[in-house]
Chains A and B, each alone.
Chain A
Amino acid sequence: MTTPAPSQPPVPAQSLPAPPPAVNPETEAFWGATADGRLLLKRCLDCGAVIWYPRAICPACASLRTEWIEAAGRGRVYSYTVNHRGEGAYQGSPPFVLGYVELDEGPRMMTNLVGVDLAGLAVGMPVEVVFHDTGAGSALPRFQPLRQ
Chain B
Amino acid sequence: MRMRRHFDHEDSTGIDLAPMLDFVLNLLIFFIITAVFVKEVGMDVNRHGGAASGPSTAKESESISVIIKASGEVIVDDRTVDVRAVRANVERLHAQKPDWGVMVTTEQAAQSGLLVQVVDQIHQGGVDNVSFGTSSR
Partners in one complex: no
**Chain B residues within 8 Å of A, Cβ to Cβ:** none
